[in-house]
Amino acid sequence: MRVSNVSGASVPQQAQRRQQRRALRVRAEATIRHGAVVAKPDMRFAVVVGRFNDLVTKLLLEGALGAFKSHGANLDNVQVVWVPGSFELPVVAKAMAKSGKFDAVVCIGVVVRGATTHYDAVVSAATSGVLNAGVDTGVPTVFGVLTCDTMEQALDRAGGKVGNKGGEAAITAIETANLLAELRGEGLAAPAWGPAK
């Protein structure tokens, strides 16, 4: 048997609506922030790209550069550096982040599963290395590495059926860099590690 009130809503529906109203009140009282997805003209970005599987990484780089441009970044302020593969992304990304010359670093690579465990080792090292580069330096270091079972899946994510993950990584870099700049400007986040700009 369903119990309802005059409005026809069941008791569980009424409880859910009360909970939603409470959540809205809490959100109205909280300060909610997110970064703008428009790059300021003076923002500087590094893009570190793995050469291995460059059929795909070139497409991801095109997507990243297109997204930077369409979101207001000056492409003269985007430094592209090629490394042998995804395994080498973290060390170069961290060194560039530590330079203090970049607002964010985007790492682009492609790892396609093979018949050995090499895939797992490279994916694990690249993932944790890129994460640690950002955490250790305080500079957004974005993981734009495709980890796919097949080359077809990779191409689908490099401008194919699923969009371009390189472009998504660039937008993430812009948004995160803007958010950290705002938080740091208000004293709500520690400064980035490295020399001052």
Closest CA to 47 of 138, 135, 174: 174
Distances 68 to 8, 64, 121 between C-alpha atoms, Å:
51, 6, 31
* Phi, psi angle pair for 26, to nearest 5°: -65, -45
Asked if residues 118 and 85 have their Cβ atoms less than 8 Å apart, the reply is no
Which residues lie across from 158 on neighbouring strands? 164
- Give strand pairing partners of 148: 112
Q: How far apart are CA 66 and CA 152, in angstroms?
A: 22
Catalytic residue among 11, 118, 162, 188: 118
Identify whether 71 is a catalytic site residue.
no
Q: At residue 11, what is the residue type?
A: V
Show which residues are catalytic. 118
